[in-house]
Structure 1
Amino acid sequence: MENREWLIRDLKQSWLAERAKKVAQVGKIDKEYYHQYDIKQGLRNSDGTGVVVGFTKIGSVHGYTYCDGIKTPIEGKLFYRDIEIDTLVKNTGEFGFEKIVYLLLFGELPGDKELKQFISILDGFRKLPTHFTENTILKSPSKDVMNKLQRAILVLYSYDEKPDCLEIDRILLQSLKLIARFPTIISYGYQAKAHYFDDQSLYLHNPKPGAGTAANILHMIRSNNEYTNLERDTLDLLLILHAEHGGGNNSAFTTHVVSSSGTDTYSAVGAAVGSLKGPKHGGANLRVKAMVDNIKENLADYSDQSELKLYLEKILDKKVFDQKGLIYGMGHAVYTISDPRAVILKSKSKELALAKGRMQEFELYNNIEKLTKEIFKERRGADVNICANVDLYSGFVYQLLNIPEELFTPLFATARVASWCAHRIEQLVSDTKIIRPAYKSIKNEEKCTII
């Protein structure tokens, strides 16, 4: 009987392997078709610029100028509601992230009275519904906190009396609840994962009223509840820098597309979380960490720049690491000369590394940035511009804050959810048409045989 079961299992595996090859073959589109019919692969023009598909007043990203058909690289600029990110970072002060959430939703920064009221409203929603934690988070833990977050969002639909209502006041209420609850969900999701899969003690701390988002996250993920003001302020900065990035980023665009169908808030935000989970989007900082760990494992002295440069070239040539030919944390779809978020985080990571005695690691990240730029200029010409993106330094800053890597991407989602909600509302009040681009059909070259 046991041999028969193994035989059936082997047959299933061999059948599946064969069919998988067939599926991959049938599903593959020859790249030549994209050139032949001028199809914008990845919704990008041939020069790398994005295909314009809509309007937004929420945020904007600038990495080049485009005049008379000529694309000219410039220093990167990022705006939230027409306010430059550098200005926001310098002037938001305490509860900076809460001020940014208010700005993204309502189009203006709050005054002292508005901020106090807004924090009180968020505090009122931070605690999860009765039995939700036990039934949704603890009874079915996930090895991936992003998976747990997505499932929890969809379950919250069942706790809403009018989940499908598209009146803006109802959508705003749903948005505020999700924004407030994301920190609690990811913190409890991490604690459940650490307990069930890593044999750590289970700690579930209630959110602290008046503490703010960054402080509450540190309070809920640490067994001793302790954190310094520097840690709180640094995490607050990370949340601010990840909060918005225009309507064209993959998760924001997902929000627009899904919302255009008229579906509910939970489905739209859940879809955005699924988009952000991908390693080409919100999960990129995890790939940076994996790459850096690989460099440390394979270089006896990673401070030797000549050895590091040779290894980076091997990564690009698909000879080492994951053999994808990518140096993670370098390059961006819009930014050319610089990513303003990376510039800010680089300065903060240096400050933290100096305080924690980890300057050798900081220099490794700095050298990866410098040497990658050199390699690209040597290989592709002196006019080629490639810059460090936010992911090169964000993961390192998380590590300096002793935040587990399982939370890197969920923290990104916690920062970005206010933006998703703002983009959802913008879609619903501005454009009632369902987003439905065209795909050109390609006929099979071989005729099908009917049996």
Structure 2
Amino acid sequence: MDELKQVLYGKILEQRPRVRRLSKEYGKVLIDQVTIAQAIGGARGVKCLVTDISYLDPEEGVRFRGKTIGETFAALPKAPGSAYPFVEGFWFFLLTGQVPTMAQTLAVVADFQRRREVPAYVFEALRAMPRDLHPMAMLSAAVVVMQRESIFTRRYSEGMSKGDYWDPMYEDACNLLAKLPAIAAFIYRLKYQGDTSIPSSPELDLGADFAHMMGIAPPYDDVARMYFILHSDHESGNVSAHTTRLVASALADAYYSFSAGVNGLSGPLHGLANQEVLRWIQAAMDKLGGVLPTEAELEKFLWDTLNSGQVIPGYGHAVLRRTDPRFTAQMDFCEKHLPDDPMFQLVRMIYRIAPRVLEEHGKARNPWPNVDAQSGVIQWYFGVKEYDFYTVLFAVGRAIGVLANITWDRALGYPIERPKSVTLDMLEAAAGISGRG
């Protein structure tokens, strides 16, 4: 058993008694109440999911295993010559809550290198698809096609103890996560680079190998490490995370479950937001004459946007009430690597002006930028100018968090999700009103 798996198993044995005690001895303790607005409004804000992987704090943003983004980046071992952590070390951290040593991190790097070869039939299936198919559909299909590799499905069919379900789920999660960068890069080069795939380089870590397979020189390796970590997890209630866990709760394997999460991520209210923001930034630049505007010109443009009934894309968040730390992390990267890029300069100027305009406008509960406000600008700068592919990058990162979550769900024996529904008549009766008339 590899060291990460041993550490994880020790953590599982520590957590199982806590779950049993809470369920058996304190199961009737009330932790929330549900309003009609929440029932109709997508269960927003209802506290009914459990995860230790990440928590979204309204003031501090996402915390990974209790650490802020800044603390996470500072604590984890860095790739040689890089300011950013190994994705493999972050995987160790999300699974165990324990900051790995460099030796432990490099052991996971080596383990992923052994796991990363993608079956040839997956690439053959992708080549058989129409070239104009959306890359997210291709990614989802590739993951489902690869389901035949599921260790959990095989071992479950052979018969195994429920207490051991986590073990093959861990193996499937590691195998899938190790292979996803190669699948994503293959889709990119198949669709947009004339089907000129670049083989994986056996000595590279996950982030550097992805940049290599994309055909983009450093520091795009750091972009990959940063981007995948920042997009890895955001509590469990967002569509991609919740869908993955919901499907897995039926004892579906990691391939079926993550493919379902990819499908949810593809929606315009979720993973497509970053490309929509980039389109808006580029359109704004065009409308302002193709050059960086003055602050007065930009302020007028923002007011015209709001007064026409439109929103400022990338600003506002359902939970956060301050600038998204993921935005700040990307801003720091841009200040170092592309400070003179016109689109980044416009992003920076919008950041100075938009919050004040939104506060004066008075309709935004949170006038601060979220992660989508500039992530597309970074990809565009490094040559990834195909908007549709941005959500695939999001999906590779999101896999880290959701696969860690479903491994723990199996370890702690969480049951199938089955919330109860009510009718409109029942809601009207609870509200003391009569419907239909």
Q: Deviations over 1:117-152 (max 9, x none)?
A: 211111112121133312x11111453211111000
Over 3 Å counting, the alpha-carbon distance change for 1:368 and 1:126 in structure 2 is same
Q: How many residues are aligned here?
A: 379
Q: 1:235-294 CA deviation, whole Å, 9 max, x = no partner? A: 312222112222222211112222222222211111111111122222211010111121
Identity across matched positions, percent: 24
Contact 2:87 2:206 survives alignment (8 Å) = yes
Once the 2 structures are TM-superposed, how far is the Cα of residue 233 of structure 1 from its aligned partner?
A: 2.0
Answering whether residue 266 of structure 2 is matched by residue 285 of structure 1, we say no
Aligned-residue offset at 1:100:
0.5
Shift of residue 403, structure 1, vs aligned partner: 2.3
User: How far off its partner does 1:445 sit?
Assistant: 7.8
Q: Which runs of 5+ in 2 are unaligned?
A: 1-33, 80-84, 157-164, 426-433
Distance (whole Å) between structure 2 residues aligned to residue 212 and residue 439 of structure 1:
46
Cα deviation, residue 105, structure 1: 2.1
User: Amino acid of the residue matched to residue 39 of structure 1?
Assistant: A
1:298–1:101 CA distance, 2 compared to 1 (3 A): same
Q: Residues of 1 paired with 2:436 and 2:66: CA distance?
A: 54
Query: One-letter code of the match for 1:125?
Result: R
Q: TM-score, normalised by structure 2?
A: 0.80
Match of 1:171 in 2: 169
Amino acid at match of 1:90: A
Mean CA deviation greater in 114-123 or 383-392: 383-392
How far 1:302 sits from its partner (Å)? Answer: 4.5
Give 1:318-329 correspondences, 5 Å limit.
318=308, 325-329=310-314
Q: Which residue of 2 aligns with 1:399?
A: 380
Shift of 1:423: 1.3
Change (3 A) 1:208 1:314: same
Contact 1:96 1:237 in 2 (8 A): no
- Residues in 2 aligned to 1:378 and 1:56: alpha-carbon distance in whole angstroms: 37
Output the amino acid matched with 2:301: Y
Q: Normalised by the size of structure 1, how large is the TM-score?
A: 0.77
For 1:346-425, list aligned pairs within 5 A. 346-354=331-339, 357-358=340-341, 360-380=342-362, 385-405=366-386, 406-425=388-407
Map 1:90-105 to 2 at 5 A.
90-92=74-76, 93-94=78-79, 95-105=85-95
Tell me whether 1:334 sits opposite 2:324 in the alignment. no
Of residues 277, 285, 296, the one that matches 1:296 is 285
What's the counterpart of residue 190 of structure 1? 188
8 Å CA contact 2:152–2:169 kept in 1: the answer is no
* Contact preservation (8 Å) 1:349, 1:393: no
How far did 1:446 drift? 7.9
- 2:43 aligned with 1:58: no
Change (3 A) 1:169 1:422: same
Asked if the contact 2:316–2:365 (Cα under 8 Å) also holds between the matched residues in 1, the reply is: no
Q: Which residue of 2 is the match for residue 124 of structure 1?
A: 114
Change (3 A) 1:264 1:367: same
Describe the shift of the 1:35–1:112 C-alpha distance in structure 2 as closer, same or farther (beyond 3 A).
closer
Mean alpha-carbon deviation: is it higher for 310-319 or for 140-149?
310-319
1:256 to 235, 238, 245: 245
Match of 1:217 in 2: 210
Deviates more, 1:434-443 or 1:421-430: 434-443
1: CA distance, partners of 2:150 / 2:417: 27
What is the alpha-carbon distance in structure 2 between the residues aligned to residue 41 and residue 147 of structure 1?
A: 28
- 1:368–1:42 distance in 2 versus 1, CA, 3 Å: farther
Give 1:209 deviation, angstroms: 1.5
Whole-angstrom distance in 1 between the partners of 2:180 and 2:371:
22
User: Mean alpha-carbon deviation: is it higher for 428-437 or for 185-194?
Assistant: 428-437
1:348-386 Cα distance to aligned partner (Å, 9 max, x none) = 1122222xx41x3222112222332122211218x9542
* TM superposition outliers: structure 1 runs of 4+ over 4 Å: 34-38, 443-447
Q: Is residue 345 of structure 1 aligned with residue 320 of structure 2? A: no
1:241 aligns with 2:230: yes
Q: Distance in 1 between matches of 2:168 and 2:256?
A: 15
In the TM superposition, what whole-angstrom CA distance separates every residue of 1:154-210 from its partner, at most 9, and x where no partner exists? 01112346536552211111101110111011111112212xxxxx43211211112
Seen in structure 2, the aligned counterparts of structure 1 residues 87 and 446 have a Cα distance that, compared at 3 Å, is closer
Select which of 36, 56, 68 maps to 1:84. 68
CA contact (8 A) 1:339 1:389 kept: yes
Q: CA RMSD in A?
A: 2.6
Question: Contact 1:148–1:189 (CA<8 Å) still a contact in 2?
Answer: yes
State whether residues 164 and 263 of structure 1, in contact with CA within 8 Å, keep that contact through their aligned partners in structure 2.
no
* Alpha-carbon distance in structure 1 between the residues aligned to 2:234 and 2:271: 12
Instruction: Give 1:316 shift.
Output: 2.8
**In structure 1, distance between residues paired with 2:413 and 2:204:** 38
CA contact (8 A) 2:266 2:272 kept: yes
